[in-house]
């Protein structure tokens, strides 16, 4: 079944959040095409994933010592109530990711990288061996598509003063690539200068911000509905 896992990480949970506006547009468009049955939503800021604890680390190390162990086989390696609790927090997140045909991530750029709420989710689902087929060694995420909608208060593209300060895009690309998601299956939709309408010093960039948002909306709609628009800017 076609399925979508929708994750929001913006600390701004109001309707003024640009990343949330765009992920909502994506999800609505996707459900109009595929129906609601395969849709799953998590608000990582509203219901944060708990940070890792010592028991998570001890269980993960035991799993690694036993070679490739599927999530279904982890239960037999649990050695304490604390490890059982950590696995109970972790397994549902792994299952959601494994079941998703497409993962939609709302990822505002915070201090040049991902929000803490998204990083905590990444840390927890990154349990040793969770996405490796123990029989073949192949990635269970091969074929999964990832769409990252990244909102930025400023501009970080080629030729801007802060070109190269975006550490979020290479980080997420490397993370999902390491988990086995094909490079061509990870897509970034960026909207820049989202603060131009609020910060007086950025007022001259309001037309750029408006055009960036309009382009992102068009791309979101096309990708969510199954289209592949021509991206002249190389995204």
- pLDDT interval class at 228 (50, 70, 90): low
Q: Distance between CA atoms of 225 and 235, rounded to whole angstroms?
A: 18
How far is Cα 112 from Cα 108, in angstroms, rounded to an integer?
A: 9
φ/ψ of residue 52, rounded to 5: -65, 150
Q: List 41's β-bridge partners, or say none.
A: 6
Q: What is the pLDDT confidence band of residue 135, given thresholds at 50, 70 and 90?
A: confident
Average pLDDT of span 104-124 = 97
Tell me the C-alpha distance between 58 and 32, whole Å.
Answer: 44
Name the pTM for this structure: 0.92
Reduced to 3 states (helix: H, G, I; strand: E, B; else coil), residue 4 is strand
Cα 121 from chain centre: 9
Per-residue CA distances from 84 to 47, 89, 98 (Å)? 21, 9, 21
Helix (H, G, I), strand (E, B) or coil at 189: strand
Per-residue pLDDT averaged across 46-74, rounded? 94
**Quick check: 148 and 186 in contact, CB under 8 A?**
yes
Residue 179 clears pLDDT 90, i.e. is over it: yes
Place of tokens 């950025």: 202
Identify the band that residue 234 occupies on the pLDDT scale cut at 50, 70 and 90: very low
pLDDT of residue 227: 63
| CATH node for 4-224 | 3.40.50.360
pLDDT tens for each residue of 22-34: 999 999 999 999 9
Mean pLDDT of 209-219: 96
Supply the DSSP string of 154-167, one letter for each residue: S--STTSTTTT---
pLDDT at residue 230 greater than cutoff 50: no
User: Residue 59 pLDDT more than 90?
Assistant: yes
Q: What is the mean pLDDT of residues 184-191?
A: 97
Please state, rounded to an integer, the average pLDDT across all residues of the chain: 93
Residue 145 CA to residue 187 CA, distance in Å, equals: 8
Query: Which of 125, 101, 81 minimizes the C-alpha distance to 40?
Result: 101
3-state helix, strand, coil in the chain (%, to 5): 45, 15, 45
User: Residue 1: pLDDT above 90?
Assistant: no
- For the record, the structure tokens of 31 come out as 């459900």
**Of 159 and 93, which is predicted with more confidence?**
93
Distances from the Cα of 104 to the Cαs of 20, 78, 147, in angstroms?
11, 32, 5
Coil, strand or helix at 141: coil
Q: Determine which helix (DSSP H) or strand (DSSP E) holds 103, and give its type and residue range.
A: strand 102-106
As a whole number of angstroms, the distance between CA 84 and CA 53 comes to 12
- The model's confidence at residue 67, banded by pLDDT at 50, 70 and 90, is confident
């Amino acid at each position: 079944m076609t399925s979508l896992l929708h994750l929001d990480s913006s600390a701004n949970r109001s309707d003024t959040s640009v990343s949330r506006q765009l992920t909502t547009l994506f999800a609505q468009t996707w459900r109009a095409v595929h129906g609601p049955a395969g849709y799953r939503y998590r608000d990582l800021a509203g219901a944060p994933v708990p940070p890792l604890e010592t028991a998570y680390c001890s269980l993960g190390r035991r799993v690694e010592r036993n070679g490739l162990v599927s999530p279904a086989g982890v239960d037999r390696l649990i050695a304490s109530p604390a490890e059982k609790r950590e696995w109970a927090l972790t397994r549902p997140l792994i299952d959601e990711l494994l079941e998703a045909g497409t993962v939609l991530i709302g990822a505002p750029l915070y201090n040049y990288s991902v929000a803490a709420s998204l990083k905590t989710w990444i840390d927890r689902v990154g349990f040793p061996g969770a996405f490796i087929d123990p029989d073949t060694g192949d990635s269970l995420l091969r074929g999964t598509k990832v769409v990252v909608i990244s909102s930025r208060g400023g501009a970080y593209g080629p030729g801007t003063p802060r070109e190269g300060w975006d550490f979020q895009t290479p980080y997420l690309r490397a993370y999902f690539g390491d988990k086995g998601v094909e490079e061509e299956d990870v897509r970034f939709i960026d909207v820049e200068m989202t603060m131009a309408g609020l910060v007086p010093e950025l007022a001259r960039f309001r037309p750029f911000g408006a055009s960036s948002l309009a382009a992102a909306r068009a791309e979101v709609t096309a990708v969510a509905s199954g289209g592949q628009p021509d991206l002249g800017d190389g995204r």
